[in-house]
Structure 1
Amino acid sequence: MSRVPPLGDTEGLWQAVMAAAAGRCQCRGTCGKSHAKNGGRCDRVHDGHKQHHGGGRVHLLAAPADPAGLLLPPHRIAALPKQALAAWCERCHDATRKKHQTTVAADEPDALF
């Protein structure tokens, strides 16, 4: 498994998050899938093969572990400590973010001011 960090990982934060996650997505169902076949945790590993949607490689992201944190602006996410981050595959990250956006939008009043 290749663990080449993203270009912006000058502090080694991405590598620390991936090491803590053993290079595997840490989603436990917040994306809407139960991941039941894999003990309740997503089975995608960094640089592994995608099985659907044309194949390709899985690239894990270091992003907030708390789904509400996925809605923070990028500069706030960048300031989070590594203990507040988790490894996410793109599919789980996007699905969790979209699901949480919908929940938050439904709770907010529908007004301009």
Structure 2
Amino acid sequence: MSTQVPSPTSTDLWQTVIAAAAGRCQCEGSCGKSHAKDGGRCGREHGGYQQHHGGGTVRLLAAPADPAELLLPAHRIATLPKRALAAWCPACHDGALAAARKAQRSTAPTEPDALFDL
């Protein structure tokens, strides 16, 4: 008789990532901010209040720790191991994603369109 271990749900994975981060955003400047007043790491905590960006309660996200991996398609992100994930507040996540997109655009090869080669 074999006993199957149930696979972890996305909620379990999220809780694991947030617990490993001690409920605090793990951004250390990938978003474009220095976070200097918080010791170099974003000070936003899950369930805390954010004074900027519309106010309200902070809800942390579990997303790739490497900002370049934020550009992966959702089905690839879903296969990343939990050690490759970090807790992000929405503002830092959006900032890191925008920076990754900008970096990708600046390193993309600029080849002429073959349709217009003469």
| Matches of 1:9 and 1:47, distance apart in 2 | 19
| Matches of 2:65 and 2:53, distance apart in 1 | 25
Structure 1: 5+ residue stretches without partners: 1-7
Q: Deviations over 1:56-109 (max 9, x none)?
A: 111100000001110000000000110000000000000011011011111112
User: C-alpha root-mean-square deviation of aligned residues, in Å?
Assistant: 1.4
Amino acid at match of 1:9: S
Structure 2: 5+ residue stretches without partners: 1-8
SS of the residue 2:10 aligns to: coil
Report runs of 4+ in structure 1 exceeding 4 Å deviation.
none
Task: Give me the identity figure in percent.
Answer: 63
Q: TM-score, normalised by structure 2?
A: 0.84
| Matches of 2:14 and 2:105, distance apart in 1 | 30
Which position in structure 1 is the counterpart of 2:88? 88
| Matches of 1:104 and 1:75, distance apart in 2 | 20
| Matches of 1:108 and 1:53, distance apart in 2 | 31
Amino acid at match of 1:17: V
Matches within 5 A, 1:33-112: 33-111=33-111
> Over alpha carbons, which structure has the higher Rg?
2
Q: TM-score, normalised by structure 1?
A: 0.87
| Matches of 2:53 and 2:22, distance apart in 1 | 25
Q: Tell me the number of residue pairs that the alignment of Structure 1 and Structure 2 aligns.
A: 105
